[in-house]
Structure 1
Amino acid sequence: MIQIAVFSDVHGNLPALDSVLEDIEKRGIRQKFCLGDLVDFAPWGNEVTEKIKDLNIPCLMGNHDERIAFDIPVVPLSKHTEEETFARFVAIDHSKKYITESNKKFLSELPFHLQLNYKIGEKHWNIQLVHSSLSSNDTYLYESESDEVFIKMLEESRSDVIVMGHTHLSFKKQFENNSWALNCGSVGRSKEENRLASYLILTLDEEKIIPEIIQLSYPLDETARRIEESEIPDYYASFLRNEQVSMS
C-alpha cells in the first residue's frame, strides 16, 4: 500500500498550510504534491513559497503563480462583482509588490503538469496532476461537468486518476475501470460552506485506488486578522469568515 497527499490553492494562507502539513505528517504520509496557487489573497505569499521550496514538495504552476512570476496584467472577470473585482486587483498588486526575486524565479520555473507512476505488485497506476486542466491552468471544471469531459482527460493523459484544484471546491467522481476525476479543494481559500482547509489522500494497492478528501480547521481568525492588518482588502477576511461576500 502507498499513500500520497495532494493539496492545492494555498493562496498565501500560512496557518492553513501549516495545519495541512502537520496532519499529513501525523499520518506518516511521505509523498506530498502541490497543484499550485501559492500566492495572492493572504499576506504570507513569500513564506508559503519558501516552505514549499524548503520541504522540496513538488509543485505545479497555478494561474496565480504564473501571473505573479511573469507580471501578467490582471483582467476583470465577468463572474465577479464590482467589489470583488476591485479587491482582486489590489490583492494581486500586493503580491507583485512584496514577492521576492528568488521566490518569483521559483514560481516561474514550476512545471505545468506532472504525471506519477506507482508500481504495486504487478499493477502500474498512472496519476495525472494538473492545476485545472490538461490544456490550461485557468479552466473551471466543477463536479457538475459532464462525465465525458473528465473521461476524455483521463484518456488523453493515459491515466487512471486525474487530480485538479483551482475551483476551491472538492469532489470525487468515479468511472469505469476504477478511474477517477478528483478535486482536492483549497488549503487556504476554500469556497465550501465550512471554509475548512482541504486536501486529498490517495491510498493505492494492487487492486484499487481509494481517494479521501480531508478537511481541517485551522486558525482562520488569525489569517483574517492578519489580512485586515495588511494592505490586502478586508474583502478576503470577510470571505474566510463566510460573511456576506460574493461566492464567485
Structure 2
Amino acid sequence: MIQIAIFSDVHGNLPALDSVLKDIEKRGISQRFCLGDLVDFAPWGNEVIEKIRDLNIPCLLGNHDERIAFDIPVVPLSKHSKEETQARFLAIGHSKKHITGENKKFLSGLPFHLRLNYKIGGKHWNIQLVHSSLDSNDTYLYESENNEVFNAMLEDSKSDVIVMGHTHLSFKKQFENEKWAINCGSVGRSKEENRLASYLILKLDENKITPEIVQLNYPLEETACQIEKSGIPDYYASFLRNEIISVL
C-alpha cells in the first residue's frame, strides 16, 4: 500500500500548517503535496512559503499565490459583503507589502497543476492535482456541482481521482465508474463549521483507492491573536473564531 498526503489553502496560518505536518509525520507518510494558496489572511506568509520550500513539498500555484507573485490587482467579488471586501483588500495589500522578493519569485515558479502516476503490482493509478480546476485556479466547485462536471475533468485528465482545494470545504464523491472527485479542504482558513485544519490521505493498493479526510485541532486562538497584533484586519480573527460566516 502507498499513502500520500494532500493539503491546500494554508493562507499564512503557520500553527495550522505545523499541526498538519506533524500529524502526517506521525502517521509515517513521506509523500506530501500542497495544492496552493500559501499566503493572505494570517501573518506568517513568508514562514509558510519558506517551510514548504525547505521541506521540498511539491506545491501548486493557487489564485492568491498568483496574485502576490505577479502583483495582480484585487477586484471586488459580488458574493462578499462590504465589510469583507474592505478587509480582503487590506489583507492582500498586507501580503503584497510583506512577502519578500525571494518568496514572490518562488511563488511565481509554481506549477499550475500536477499529474501523478503510481504503479502497484499490475495497476497504474493516475491522480490529478489542481487548485480548483484543470483550466482555472479560481473556479468554485462544490460538492453540489453536477456530477458531469467532475466526470468531464476526470476524462480530460485521464485520471482515476482528481483532488482540489480552493473552496475551503472538503468532500469526497465517488462515481459509478469508481473514480473520485475530492476536495481536501483548507489547512488554515476552513469554512467548515468546526474550523478545523483539514487535509487528505489517499491510500492506494492494487485494487482500490481509499480516501480519508483528516481534520485536526490546532492553536486557533494563537493565530487569531497574532492576526489582531498584525496589520491584517481583525475580520479574519473573528472568522477563525466562527463569529463570521464568509465565502472565499
TM class, shorter-length: over 0.9
- CA distance in 1 between counterparts of 2:181 and 2:123 reads 19
Q: Which residue is equivalent to 1:35?
A: 35
- CA distance in 1 between counterparts of 2:73 and 2:247 reads 23
TM score, norm. by length of structure 1 = 0.99
Q: Which residue is equivalent to 2:7?
A: 7
Q: Cα distance, 1:239 vs. partner?
A: 0.1
Q: Cα distance, 1:22 vs. partner?
A: 0.1
Q: Which residue is equivalent to 1:242?
A: 242
Q: Which residue is equivalent to 1:193?
A: 193
Structure 2 residue matching 1:176: 3-state secondary structure: coil
What amino acid is the match of 1:128? Q
1:163 has 2:168 as partner: no
1:89 has 2:89 as partner: yes
**1:147-226 maps to which residues of 2 (within 5 A)?**
147-226=147-226
Query: Percent of counterpart pairs with the same letter?
Result: 83
Q: Cα distance, 1:245 vs. partner?
A: 4.4
Q: Cα distance, 1:174 vs. partner?
A: 0.0
Q: Which residue is equivalent to 1:115?
A: 115
Contact 1:5 1:199 in 2 (8 A): yes
- CA distance in 2 between counterparts of 1:220 and 1:174 reads 32
- CA distance in 2 between counterparts of 1:133 and 1:6 reads 16
- CA distance in 2 between counterparts of 1:246 and 1:212 reads 26
Structure 2 residue matching 1:90: 3-state secondary structure: helix
Runs of 4+ aligned residues of structure 1 deviating over 4 Å after TM superposition are none
**1:37-52 maps to which residues of 2 (within 5 A)?**
37-52=37-52
Q: Cα distance, 1:247 vs. partner?
A: 4.4
State the number of aligned residues: 248
Contact 1:178 1:209 in 2 (8 A): no
Contact 2:79 2:247 in 1 (8 A): no
What amino acid is the match of 1:121? G
Q: Which residue is equivalent to 2:78?
A: 78
1:138 has 2:142 as partner: no
- CA distance in 2 between counterparts of 1:238 and 1:122 reads 51
- CA distance in 2 between counterparts of 1:245 and 1:82 reads 13
Mean Cα deviation higher: 176-185 or 136-145: 176-185
Q: Cα distance, 1:176 vs. partner?
A: 2.5
Q: Which residue is equivalent to 2:19?
A: 19
- CA distance in 1 between counterparts of 2:201 and 2:186 reads 14
Q: Cα distance, 1:105 vs. partner?
A: 0.2
Q: Cα distance, 1:152 vs. partner?
A: 0.2
CA RMSD of aligned residues (A): 0.7
Structure 1 residue matching 2:224: 3-state secondary structure: helix
What amino acid is the match of 1:49? I
- CA distance in 1 between counterparts of 2:129 and 2:244 reads 33
Change (3 A) 1:247 1:156: closer
What amino acid is the match of 1:162? I
Contact 1:235 1:245 in 2 (8 A): no
Contact 1:128 1:157 in 2 (8 A): yes
- CA distance in 2 between counterparts of 1:179 and 1:3 reads 17
Structure 2 residue matching 1:178: 3-state secondary structure: coil
Deviations 1:109-153 (A, max 9, x none): 000010000000000000000000000000000000010000000
- CA distance in 2 between counterparts of 1:164 and 1:199 reads 11
1:102 has 2:102 as partner: yes
